[in-house]
Amino acid sequence: MENFSLIFALLLLLFAFSTGEMIERRHYKDIRSREQRWKRFPAITLKRIPSAWEVEDSEMVYGNVVISVDHFKRFLAGLRGIFGGRIKSYESLMDRARREALLRLKKDAMDKGFDAIVNVRLETTRMANARRNGEGTAGLEVLAYGTGLKLRNKPA
Amino acid sequence: MSFDPGLPDDSINVSRTHPLKEAGLLLAGMIGAVILFVIAVGASIDWLAPLLPPGLEMKLLGSFGEPDEDEIEPSDSDEQRLQALVDRLASHWADNPYSFRAAILGDDAPNAFAFPGGWIVVSRGLLEQTDSENELAFVVSHEIGHFKNRDHLRGLGRGVALALAMSVVASSGAGLAGDLAGLAGSLASRSFDRDQEVDADAFGLGLVYAEYGHVGGATEFIRKAPEFSNVIGNTAASYLSTHPLHDDRIEALLMLALQKGWTKQGQLMPFESESGDEQDTLDTTKAHGDFE
């Protein structure tokens, strides 16, 4: 009986691994294609507006994403909790979330008719687990924000 | 200033180790560490256990080993008979430093335990599945043998070591890792059990012979219920319950009886259970259960 539950747990882990891998692969594919498509839209971290730009309008713009940790990634991270070292399984998760948030930031700015974003900043938040008194991580949120600018003269 | 856009570099922020490879390495490392830990602690306990005087053990661990009140059955005539049987058998152990206390566990699964402080605990299921007092006497004598060899302390030490290792793994939140560690740890712990069981069998058989003048019935219990081969063990581990240990053990017992010239022929005594029919004596050849 105990062996049965062990096998079941193992199967669940493999299932989570395959779904997690599939979702991640698709997400990366999507991220890369949008990065390529929107790469001419400037989203820069400078605080000051480049002197050549003549600003007509400005507004704060956001891009926000929440990504869940899958069972397998959490399992790997748990093992890392014993031995230490880089939590490699979360690295790709963070990477995806940051890039997705930046893409949504650009989308927000484009939809609002802006020509560029300056002072781009990133914030990360751990989404606490609703169970177990908030211990453990349900997922993570990355917020990208900046100042959208409408310009009289488009940047070169 | 001209705007020259680039694309994020995929290879910088994400490690390229395959997740399954990482999981395999970490799991193997963790299981190896747990096994090493349990073996190391088990070996030290084997060395330390005989150094604790039984009198001090009774004082220190008497209440620790006492079974939980809601798990054992309230004292009744069965328990008194069991206590009497324990006392009779223990009287054949010449320099017995323990005063044994018997208790009946309210559990249908046949099981028997030796707990620190002189506790001999037998499950209700075992009482019902033994067909004669002689079978029960062998189980009880086997447990007394564990006290003689201080196995109950070793088992306790290994149990603590295993629980410690498990709690470290479990605190990581990787549930499956904890299960695997538990399995590996109990397998490692089990490697200590085998010799202990054979030694306890040998001592127990001697007590049975001293009490009844023959060893009839002694091997019956493990023979007729191979799946209970770990019943007379002192661990709660149910892993490897199909391990063919019982054949080796029966053979070792028969060899011992042959060497010592202990006869297997003799009258079997009934152990009257309240739930069973009363019967004066049992035929050695009869194998059906009277207390079903």
Residue A132 DSSP symbol: G
Cα–Cα distance for residue pair B219/B139, rounded to 1 Å: 10
Cβ neighbours of B30 in A, within 8 Å: 79, 82-83
Q: Tell whether B87 is covered by a domain.
A: yes
> Which residue's entry shows tokens 């910088």?
B12
Q: Tell whether B216 is covered by a domain.
A: yes
Give the helix/strand (H/E) hosting A80: helix A71-83
Interface A:B, Cβ pairs < 8 A: 91
Helix A88-111 and helix B19-48, axial crossing angle in degrees, nearest 10? 140
Of A54-63, A79-88, B14-23, B150-159, highest mean pLDDT: A54-63
Cα–Cα distance for residue pair A90/A66, rounded to 1 Å: 14
For chain B, give the mean pLDDT.
75
Which residue in B7, B15, B177 is closest to A36 by CB distance? B7
- Is this model's pTM higher than 0.80 or not? no
Question: Is B234:B149 a contact under the CB 8 Å cutoff?
Answer: no
Please list the pLDDT of chain A residue by residue as tens digits (156 residues): 556 777 888 888 899 999 999 999 999 999 999 999 999 999 999 998 888 889 999 999 999 999 998 889 988 888 888 888 899 999 999 999 999 999 999 999 999 999 999 999 999 998 877 776 666 677 899 999 999 999 997 755
Cβ neighbours of A137 in B, within 8 Å: none
Distance (Å) of CA B169 to CA A1, B176, B180, B181, B224: 22, 10, 10, 7, 39
Q: Tell whether B70 is covered by a domain.
A: yes
* Tokens representing residue B166 in the block: 């498990």
Q: Is B29 on the interface with A (CB under 8 A)?
A: yes
How many Cβ atoms from other residues are within 10 Å of residue B183's Cβ?
Answer: 17
pLDDT in tens, B31-44: 888 888 888 887 88
Question: Is B255:B239 a contact under the CB 8 Å cutoff?
Answer: no
Q: Is A9–B239 a contact, with Cβ atoms under 8 angstroms apart?
A: no
* Domain region containing B229: 53-149+192-260
Virtual torsion, Cα B205, B211, B216, B217, nearest 10 deg: -80
Q: Is A130 on the interface with B (CB under 8 A)?
A: no
So what's the ipTM on this one?
A: 0.77
Question: Is B210:B141 a contact under the CB 8 Å cutoff?
Answer: no
Residue A133 DSSP symbol: G
Q: Is A92–B14 a contact, with Cβ atoms under 8 angstroms apart?
A: yes
Question: Is A80:A74 a contact under the CB 8 Å cutoff?
Answer: no
| Interface test mutation site (partner B, options A71, A74, A79, max chain B beta carbons within 10 A) | A79
Q: Tell whether B229 is covered by a domain.
A: yes
Cβ neighbours of B26 in A, within 8 Å: 76, 79-80, 82-83
Q: Tell whether B213 is covered by a domain.
A: yes
* Tokens representing residue A153 in the block: 């003269």
Helix B151-170 and helix B19-48, axial crossing angle in degrees, nearest 10? 150
DSSP letters for B191-254: TTHHHHHHHHHHHHHHHHHHHHSS-TTTTHHHHH-GGGTTTTSSS---TTTT-THHHHHHHHHH
B101-105 and B119-123 beta bridge pairing: parallel
Q: Tell whether B59 is covered by a domain.
A: yes
pLDDT at B238: 37
Distance from the A75 Cα atom to the nearest Cα atom in chain B, whole angstroms: 5
Stretch B108-133: mean pLDDT, rounded? 83
**Phi/psi of residue B193, each to 5°?**
-75, -35
Q: Is B51 on the interface with A (CB under 8 A)?
A: no
- Domains of chain A are 2-151 (3.30.110.70)
Q: Is A134 on the interface with B (CB under 8 A)?
A: no
| Interface test mutation site (partner A, options B26, B37, B167, B187, max chain A beta carbons within 10 A) | B26
Nearest residue on chain B to A3, judged by CA atoms? B239
Nearest residue on chain B to A43, judged by CA atoms? B5
Strand partners, A127: A139
Q: Tell whether B36 is covered by a domain.
A: no
